[in-house]
Structure 1
Amino acid sequence: DEVHDVAARLADAGCRMTFNVFSSPVGYQGPLRHDEKTLKLTRGAMIDLLNRYPQYVLFSVYNAVAHTSEAGLHELYGCSYPRCNPSQDIGLGRSFRQYRTDLNWDRSVACCVPDTDCADCRHYAAGSAVVTARLYRHVNRPDTFKSWLDYVDTYLAVWVTGYDKGKNLCERVIQPPVKG
């Protein structure tokens, strides 16, 4: 409810912003867990603020879609991290390591954000790896490809110091391409 006031204050101060979506921890069924209504409200607020403050909001419509769809990132794109990806081929399934406090590595929990309910994962960090790794799914339609480019551009602007985000190429809601 406060996001519009906070965004206005940040924009007035010349600050840039982006969004991260709560992802439920394993076993959590409390009131903060998203449902269809809260995901729709979250997406609407993200897109509204993106349109209202395009020079300050580091995001795209496709970012909003990817992180607020009823299905989580794993169901939409197939998670790249070892916890969900048993592949030993080149990529995160083989190379990602997350060491526990006892310095052991446990594939069954190896993830960018430990203890997240994979079915509800909407983390920005996860999307940065999972969505961007799925270029091949986004090349069949011009708007789908533009949306993927917007996602990558947003990722770079958030994580790479000195990288300036360009204008979003697709302002329409594009549903993520089906796994297959």
Structure 2
Amino acid sequence: MLRKAMRNYTGDPRAVMLFTLSPWNLDSVGDVLKAAEDHDVKLTFSMYSATTSYLAKLTAGTAADSKYFRLGPSLARAVFTDADLAKAHEAMLDAMQRYPDTVIFSAEYADLITRPGPLYDMDPATGLPLDCGSRIRDPLRYFDTAGTQKQMKCCTPDVDCNHCRLYSGSWSKLFKPTQKHLADVGSFEGWLSMIETIGQIFLYPFPFESDA
């Protein structure tokens, strides 16, 4: 299925494939990158983020099923350990070096997204992040498919915020530089590099056409 999708988008400069890394697929990064290069398809990374439902089933010892709850080889948990995060970090940097014309990513962002522990400043009272860029706050509203307004923390509400490394929240948190990014020239250049990467992923550079 993946190769069929790649064939459909071969050479299309608008297409960017999102490769979601998990503890189960880190050894396949090289194969996926080679396939993307062979089909002239750009690639970027996200990271699997465990949901509260998944973690609850693991805690309860729920048996795996063939629909939505998988345990993987040797009943391994699809939850990043510190060792997994270090391996993912190495895989991202290696991918950028080996496939510079295929991978759209940032070394500074790889440092951020693979650091151990929660990525956000968690509110102990609510268990929700205070600095996530994807939180739904006024004046934003959330509606389900039936058109009913609901109170949700974000558009992926079942994801456990302590384990969240989704690229939507992580990237959107970076739109405004923090004091850390403004501490020195090198830090600011790193932030600019991440913002440039966001633009390469989400904005297609249509050529400007003048009316003159």
Instruction: Indicate which of 54, 70, 84 corresponds to 1:28.
Output: 54
Which runs of 5 or more structure 2 residues have no equivalent in the other structure?
1-26, 59-76, 123-129, 207-212
User: TM-score, normalized by length of structure 2?
Assistant: 0.65
CA change 1:112–1:68 in 2 (3 A) is farther
Deviation of 1:9 after TM superposition, in Å, equals 1.9
2:63 alignment counterpart: none
2:168 alignment counterpart: 125
Q: Conserved in 2, the CA contact under 8 Å of 1:22 and 1:122?
A: yes
How many corresponding residue pairs? Answer: 152
* Structure with more relative contact order (C-alpha pairs < 8 Å, separation 6 or more): 1
Q: Conserved in 2, the CA contact under 8 Å of 1:135 and 1:148?
A: no
Whether 2:93 is the aligned partner of 1:47: answer: yes
Name whichever structure is richer in helix by fraction.
Answer: 1
User: TM-score, normalized by length of structure 1?
Assistant: 0.75
Which runs of 5 or more structure 1 residues have no equivalent in the other structure?
84-92, 164-180
Whether 2:119 is the aligned partner of 1:105: answer: no
1:17 alignment counterpart: 43
Could you list the per-position Cα deviations for residues 74-105 of structure 1 after superposition, in whole angstroms to 9, with x for gaps in the alignment? 2398213446xxxxxxxxx3233222244112
Q: Conserved in 2, the CA contact under 8 Å of 1:97 and 1:110?
A: no
Deviation of 1:136 after TM superposition, in Å, equals 4.2
CA change 1:9–1:152 in 2 (3 A) is same
Q: Conserved in 2, the CA contact under 8 Å of 1:58 and 1:154?
A: yes
Deviation of 1:115 after TM superposition, in Å, equals 1.1
2:131 alignment counterpart: 78
Q: Conserved in 2, the CA contact under 8 Å of 1:14 and 1:56?
A: yes
Deviation of 1:154 after TM superposition, in Å, equals 1.0
CA change 1:6–1:81 in 2 (3 A) is closer
Deviation of 1:28 after TM superposition, in Å, equals 3.0
CA–CA distance in 2 between the matches of 1:63 and 1:127?
9
Whether 2:182 is the aligned partner of 1:139: answer: yes
CA–CA distance in 2 between the matches of 1:130 and 1:68?
15
Q: Which structure has the larger Rg over C-alpha atoms? A: 2
CA–CA distance in 2 between the matches of 1:46 and 1:2?
12
